[in-house]
Every structure is written in C-alpha cells, then in structure tokens.
Amino acid sequence: MLRSLFLHLSRAGWARRLASGRRARRAAARFVAGDTLDQAISAVRRINAAGLSATLDHLGENVTDRAEAEAARVDYLMLIDRLAESDLQAHPSLKLTQLGLRLDPSFCLENLRLIARQATQHNAFLGIDMEDSSAVKPTLAICGQLRSEGFLNVGTVIQSYLYRSEADLRVLLQQGFHIRLVKGAYQEPASVAFPRKQDVDANFDRLCRVLLEHARDCPAPAGTPQGRLPAIAAIATHDETRITFARRCAEELGLPHHSFEFQMLFGIRSDLQRRLADEGYPVRVYVPYGTEWFPYYMRRLAERPANVIFVLRNVIRP
C-alpha cells in the first residue's frame, strides 16, 4: 500500500509543490547529492576517495516543452565537459523523457545524438536510463539507432519486473551494449510486469546469469579503463540475496571480480558498497543531483520502508 502511495505521489504535481519546503529537501538530501553540479562533483570526489566509481544523473524527466529539453541537453553537455576536465572516475546517465521523448522522438534523438557526440569526443561513456514501460520500446529504438550510427559508448538498463526484459536483454547483448540490470521502480500493471516480488527477484537472478554468461563469453578488451567506462555487466541492487546469487554465479562461471560491477544508489547501503569494494569488486554509486528531485525521491521511499522511517525523523526533527 505504501509503495503504491509513493509511486502515485511521484507523478503528482500538487505533491511536488507541497514538498518544496526546507524540511522535505533536508530529508531528501540523503538520496540526492545537491541542487548543483558543483555539489554533485564534491560528492563524487568523496566517493572516489573511498575507492568507488560513480554515475552522475542530472535529475529531470517528462519535460513538457522543447525549451526544457534543450536546457537539459545544455546541462549534460556541461556535465560531460566538467568530467573530462577532472580526474573523476564517473560518467553521466540520463532519461530520454528529459530530452523530449514524449514530445517528439526525433527531437529527442537529435538532443541525445549531440550529447553522445560530445561524450565520444571525450572518450566518455553515456548511460541511458530506463523509465516506465511506456518508454521502453522508444528508448530501445533510439539506443539502437545511435548504435547503428557508430556510437559505441552508449549503454542502457534492463528492468527485471517486466515480462519482456529477457528478450530485450538478449538482443541488446548481441548488439554489444553495456547493460545495467535493475529490478524496476515504477508502478506497472500486471499485464506488463510481474506483480509479485518473488517473481521479480527470480527474474532478476535469471537475467543476472544471462548477463554474467555474456561477460564470460565476451570479456572487455585488455586495457579497458576502469571507472569512466563501466563493466559490460552491471548488477544494480541493494538486495543482499541477489548480490550473493551474482557472486556465486560469477564464481561458477570462473569470472574474476573485475569482469563485472555492482551498482548502488547514493545514500543507500554505503556499508555494503564499501564491503564489496574491500573484497575487490568494482562498485559504482549512482549520484543524482538537481532541483527536480521529487519524483526520484518518492521512488526511493517506495522501495524500502526503512527509507520512510529515516524521512519521518528528519521532517519531525526541528
């Protein structure tokens, strides 16, 4: 029930307006690195100092006019330049509805093409996030188009709660994409997504094995830079049962630790992030920043009841 409530609020404009107060923003600070790129860069420096790499996401989605999408494009071009100037182990990640996917897919593609071109010039990787099920098909189509144009520095996300994901994963791996495997954080009907958590988990493990088998059969070339370029197989979860499965599967397949990576979210299970890194696994932290934090924040609350308890403490505290 709580999950459905928070997912509903993530899409509600009135809820976003009510949450503009200082206390709500203070509570969200656990999951969002700050409002500005400078604050996000500072957070990534701390993450790198702890032996972890990062993904930077300038928050925003479902823009309602072209000017917003063009502004997002400019922000990402600036982000790519800043990362190129630094020695940070990080790459950018973005959502296509932030670049105008729902306004005009061709317009979105052109915005993304400019960003991908800039990333290519700096030898940087670019992650394309996956959104709700209505955006999956056009997102994959745009990713495929970029690939056909020679942009080999683009990767995307597969969500284990969708029925279609195994078929999508196999096609993407054949095309050579880097893949980030997640469970999925949007509210979906039972017609397209597994309604039961145990089925989502079982599919996550199934897709994890497919992904790790691919990492074994198609290893990254020698000398592939670590940090700015992620491993071809990224297992993104805070679920220790899923992490244990991935580790055992990798051992069965004879995969060395560096051949895949674990990914987790900023502000969630930092202890687990450090423990995996200490054991020799590459760990990447997804670092969101920006003023459009509310939808992302609501999805984080929907994921774990413990997050809600943390927020209540911060909202009630003077």
Task: Say what the pLDDT of residue 26 is.
Answer: 62
- Distance (Å, rounded) from C-alpha 48 to C-alpha 149? 33
**CATH 3.20.20.220 holds for 2-14+52-316:** yes
Residue scoring higher pLDDT (299 or 76): 76
Give the tokens for residue 201: 């988990």
Q: Which of 57, 75, 180, 284 is catalytic?
A: 180
pLDDT of residue 268: 86
pTM (predicted TM-score): 0.86
Among the listed residues 75, 129, 132, 168, the single catalytic one is 129
Question: Is 180 known to be catalytic?
Answer: yes
In this predicted structure, the answer to whether residue 114 has a pLDDT above a threshold of 50 is yes
**Percent over 90 (pLDDT), the chain:** 71
pLDDT exceeds 50 at position 6: no
Mean pLDDT computed over 180-192: 93
Structure token pair of residue 256:
């060395």
pLDDT tens across 252-284, in order? Answer: 999 999 999 999 999 888 999 999 999 999 999
For residue 162, pLDDT beyond 90: yes
**What DSSP letter does each residue of 15-59 carry, written as one string?**
HHHHTTSHHHHHHHTTT---SSHHHHHHHHHHHHHTT-EEEEEE-
Half-sphere exposure (Cβ direction) of 186: Cα atoms closer than 13 Å: 17
**Residues constituting the chain:** 318
Going 32 to 38 to 41 to 45, the CA torsion angle's sign is negative
Residue 191 burial (CB count, 10 A): 8
Give the Cα separation of 153 and 150 in Å (integer).
Answer: 9
pLDDT at 53 over 50: yes
Mean pLDDT of the chain: 86
- Residue pLDDT, tens place only, 191-239: 999 999 999 999 999 999 999 999 998 866 544 444 456 778 999 999 9
pLDDT of residue 311: 47
Give the pLDDT confidence of 62-76 residue by residue, as tens digits: 999 999 999 999 999
What's the mean pLDDT in 287-305?
Answer: 72
pLDDT (tens digit, 9 = 90+) per residue, 130-148? 999 999 999 999 999 999 9
Place 49 in a pLDDT band, splitting at 50, 70 and 90.
Answer: very high
